[in-house]
Structure 1
Amino acid sequence: MAHPWLIWVIAVVTGICHAKQAAMADYYRQFHLYFLKGEDGSELETASDLKAKLKNLSWSHDFWKKLTLTVYTNYTVQQEATAPAMQALRRELKQRFPSGRIPQSFRDAFRAASLPLMKYTNILSFNWRTIALFVSLFASMPWLYFAFELVVLNNLLVYMIIRHEGICRKFTAELKDGKY
């Protein structure tokens, strides 16, 4: 190979893409679970709540807890930045239903709209990556794994973000129009 460093660059880029794909798949799955099971059945948190928790921790007394919460807060900030329409919907829901009691009709409608996207969150999970890795290794073409990750899964991620953001914009508009 004329440029052996190139594989390391591709591997790092693929790792960064993988992190983004996994983060957004998890975020959309948690939002779907929020409407399915409520706050108790979802791990959906906001960066602002996490930042407030972070302020109450000390580096000298709570080093490991503060370190892990700092990483998780930054992870959540990145998720929120990637899904601005979802953040607008969350704000609208909080404003209209401050008690957190979102009408069941809204929950059902949102879940029905987001359910088809859940298969994509599953594809972006570990199992499909593992299958692609093993297939590429058994075929003695490890570069196929990177191609799968960079081309197929990134395109799937973009599609999923566009679709989910559209769903969120639609439901935000319906809330503002007084449908729910």
Structure 2
Amino acid sequence: MTEDMKDEKEKVYTASKEHIKKAVFKSLAIAAAYSVFMLLIGRSTFTFLSIFVGIILGAIFLFTVNAISKNKVFVANEYIAFKPIYTNEMDTYNWHRVTSVAIGNVEDNRGRVPVTIYGVQMVYFRDTLDDEKVATSIAFALDHFVDYDLLIDDIKQICITRGISVQDGR
């Protein structure tokens, strides 16, 4: 690693405002559509209930949008860290443990059903209680970030510099 690479600070990438605006619009549209639907099908007893449920749905969706706006990726020469929308904890991965990176359409299998996302998938070694190293795969969606191409270019550059296998399927 060169001396100028050590002095470089981490770069922080955040969700795009356009992505957040679309999510807000969808959230409010779904809540409003539900309220109108309940008003059209029902009797007066449904009026209060439909408005109340619409407000609750809107609040839930806006909470999700707020979480998306806090989603961040930190890229540095020593590590990459993700702050996903579903937790306040940082998922940090040291580059010296990463063996390969795939970019583009990758499979995220953290949930019950594997889904294809547009982002990055890393294979890295984690330690176990038996002092063994186990290869683990993790994927993160990154397509909603402001500077997606710059983020991917930074990841690729660090991988190339560190000799990490990288596949760009964009």
TM-score, normalized by the shorter chain, greater than 0.5? no
Larger RCO: 1 or 2 (CA < 8 Å, sep 6+): 1
TM-score, L = length of structure 1? 0.31
Which one has a bigger Cα radius of gyration? Answer: 2
TM-score, L = length of structure 2? 0.33
Higher-strand-fraction structure: 2
Higher-helix-fraction structure: 1
